[in-house]
Each structure stands twice: as C-alpha cells, then as structure tokens.
Amino acid sequence: MKEKTKIAIIGSGNIGTDLMIKILRLSPSLEMSVMVGIDPNSDGLARAKRMGVATCHTGIDGLLQMPEWKDIEIVFDATSARAHHYNWEKVKAFPDKRMIDLTPAAIGPYLIPPVNFQDNIDVPNLNMVTCGGQATIPIVAAVNQVAKVHYGEIVASISSKSAGPGTRANIDEFTETTAEAIEKVGGAEKGKAIIILNPAEPPLVMRDTVFTLSEEADRSAIKDSIAKMVQEVQKYVPGYALHQEVQFDVIPEDKPVFIEGLGYRQGLKTTVLLKVEGAGHYLPPYAGNLDIMTSAARATGEYLVAAHAKQ
C-alpha cells in the first residue's frame, strides 16, 4: 500500500484545527505531519499533541528547522492574508512543496475543486478563495455552462459566532477576493459579493443566495446543471444543499437593469438559495462557512495526490 502524502498545517486556530481533524479522521491519502502555530498555549496545538501530531509554536520559520520538513509535500496555510505573504516567501524556495492557501491572500490562482481543478494541477500555490466563494461560485459556473452569465452576485450569511478574529480581520479581502473569483472562475462578466454576520440565537447555519443574470436559456438545462454541481460539492461537503427550488425571472428588453461596469442588460435572472451545515468535527454544525473551507482544502489536497499518482 502506497504511503500517504505528508502535510503540514500553518495556523492552529479554528480552521487549521478543523482541517487537522478532518485529515486525521477521513483522508485516505493525506497524513498529518506537523501542526504549526504562534501561540504555544493554543487549543489547536494542544489537540495536535494529544492526537500524536508533531507541533511547532514558532511559525513557518520554526517548521523549516524541524526534521519533518524534508518529507512534507503539501503545506496548508490557515492563517491570515497578511501572514500568507510571509509564509509563501519561505515555502516557495522549496520547489518540491505545494501550498494550499485558505486565506484571502490570492497569491496563486483561485481554486474551486469541481470547477477548475484540472486547470491548476501543477500550480505551486492554490488559493481556496473564501467560504462564500466555495459555496456559491460552483453555482455561478453551473449557470454559465448553459448560458453566458453577465452578472453574478452572492450574499453569504454566517453566524457571528462562527466568525473568528481571522474572518473579521479579512472582511474587505473577502468581498474583493470573492467578487473577482466570481468572474475568473465562475465565468461572470461582473461579480459582486456581500457577507452578513448574523447575530441570531440560537446560531443559524450558513445561508447563501446566488443571483445571476444571463442570456436566455432553457430553464430545465440550468436546473440540471445546478443539480449536478450540487452533487459534486456534496462529495466533500455532505451538508451542502439547495434550500429551495431554483427560481427564474425574465428581465425584458424594454425594462433592462443597470449593472455598474456593464451598463443596461436584459436576460434571465436565476436565484439559487443554499444552506451549508458543518460536519461537527471540531466546529459546531452551524459553522458551515468554516467547514466548507476546510473540506474544500482537504479535497484539493487529495485531488492533487491522485492526479500526480496518475502521471
């Protein structure tokens, strides 16, 4: 039996810890080698130690000095956009290492596993966009496979309890990165992203609304394309689902809507309502926004291993 691919996770907060537990419990091809943080008293590092994983509390610089470093092939970065720039400067000096970036830094190309993985198999630094992007861009892409999307807008509503300091510090990057990825990966001419921190008690699971304005097309074909895409995402995020039936509205030629940067457009408006419930590995089930990021990152690592095994 082939040995698993050794990986390291930088960032011992909620996202990094949840990713570690997912890999330890679920991954058939990835092996936890080192959990890296900067706070020696963090719960993530304590859990890693209890689970038999080597730890380092001096960041990427400490990881480079560890004997485990030479055997690590994939590094997951679950820190912040700013920290990722520093971490990548260190890692890129080692051409045998790949980096999967869970921050909004977007140094490497945006990666949505069921949409554009095949186009980025050999890229050394892959960016997982944002939680909102992972949830909604597959839907924009699904519509775009049937009819050219002029405009894609997403609204991600997450429980305020699931938004830690990293998420809150990166709100601007979230909206900018997600909007750009709606265009570059989803295929929309123009993209817009909005995030809402919902303070409701008890906390609500992640909800996402996707609006697209596209050329006129067969509605059944669009529904089928969306359904197939949902099934693809469910392969690594079982709690991902349509919340309601797909809705359609016609924007007639004599009553076009104005879209900043595009001008007046008419066509078919598609509305898709989603919910994302987490698996509850480390984070509560309502934190689907964090779960979809760690699940997509794990899937990307596993896809990389499988793709290179075929080469």
Per-residue model confidence (pLDDT) at position 43: 95
Which helix (H) or strand (E) segment holds residue 89: the answer is helix 81-91
- C-alpha span between 99 and 74 (Å, rounded): 6
Task: Collapse the DSSP code of 13 into the 3-class scheme (helix H, G, I; strand E, B; otherwise coil) and give the result.
Answer: coil
Neighbouring residues of 273: CB distance < 8 A, sequence distance ≥ 6: 207, 208, 209, 210, 242, 243, 244
- C-alpha span between 41 and 162 (Å, rounded): 21
Place of tokens 């050219």: 148
Q: pLDDT, tens digit, for every residue of 110-140?
A: 999 999 999 999 999 999 999 999 999 999 9
Pairing of strands 5-10, 74-77: parallel
Angle, vertex CA 236, rays to CA 234 and CA 238, nearest 5:
45
Per-residue model confidence (pLDDT) at position 244: 96
- C-alpha span between 92 and 128 (Å, rounded): 18
Q: How do the domains of the chain map onto residue ranges?
A: 5-128+291-310, 131-284
* Structure token pair of residue 13: 């907060």
Q: Estimate the crossing angle of helix 14-26 against helix 43-50, to 10 degrees.
A: 20
- C-alpha span between 263 and 255 (Å, rounded): 13
Sign of the C-alpha dihedral computed for residues 106, 112, 118 and 124 taken in this order: positive
Residue 56 designated active-site? no
Whether domain 5-128+291-310 has CATH 2.40.50.140: no
Please state the pTM of the whole predicted model. Answer: 0.95
Place of tokens 């820190």: 79
Half-sphere exposure of 156 (CA within 13 A, CB side): 28
Nearest 5°: phi and psi at 272?
-125, 125
Closest CA to 176 of 116, 133, 125: 133
Q: Residue 157, Cα to own-chain centre: how many angstroms?
A: 15
- CATH code of the domain occupying 131-284: 3.30.360.10
Which of the residues 128, 131, 154, 182 is marked catalytic? 131
How does pLDDT run along the chain (311 residues), one tens digit per residue? 569 999 999 999 999 999 999 999 999 999 999 999 999 999 999 999 999 999 999 999 999 999 999 999 999 999 988 899 999 999 999 999 999 999 988 899 999 999 999 999 999 999 999 999 999 999 999 999 999 999 999 999 999 999 877 678 778 888 999 999 999 999 999 999 999 999 999 999 999 999 999 999 999 999 999 999 999 999 999 999 999 999 999 999 999 999 999 999 999 999 999 999 999 999 999 999 999 999 999 999 999 999 988 77
